[in-house]
């Protein structure tokens, strides 16, 4: 789950509620219910510590390779959207296209 206050991911299943009083437990659960899992912009399975997978890819594989990856992933999500996750897949495709644009504009500004 993405915590908009800290701009970090929270795995609510790993919160040890036993360390809180009953009143605190209720508050923690209330807060966790207000935090939505963001499978499009911040999927927890692609974050390790403070780096997202795509940022490590850019650093290790280069910007052009990541731009190609973004186009391919956008195609994949649009291609499968009707048979898998519908609107969520379309949003993921848009995310990858926006990432492609971001990387392209960053390249243009370096020139």
Which position has the token pair 């492609």? 100
The answer to whether 102 and 52 are in contact (CB under 8 A) is: no
Distance CA 2, CA 22 (A): 24
Split at pLDDT 50, 70, 90, the class of 3 is low
Helix (H, G, I), strand (E, B) or coil at 37: coil
pLDDT score recorded for residue 1: 44
pLDDT score recorded for residue 37: 59
pLDDT at residue 106 above 80? Answer: yes
Distance CA 80, CA 89 (A): 8
The answer to whether 66 and 54 are in contact (CB under 8 A) is: yes
């Amino acid at each position: 789950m993405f915590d908009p206050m800290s701009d970090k991911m929270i795995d609510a299943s790993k919160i040890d509620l036993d360390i809180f009083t009953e009143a605190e437990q209720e508050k923690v659960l209330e807060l966790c219910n207000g935090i939505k899992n963001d499978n499009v912009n911040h999927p927890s399975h692609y974050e390790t510590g403070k780096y997202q997978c795509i940022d490590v890819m850019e650093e290790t594989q280069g910007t052009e390779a990541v731009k190609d990856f973004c186009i391919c992933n956008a195609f994949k999500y649009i291609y499968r959207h009707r048979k898998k996750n519908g609107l969520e897949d379309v949003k993921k495709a848009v995310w990858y296209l926006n990432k492609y644009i971001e990387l392209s504009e960053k390249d243009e500004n370096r020139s």
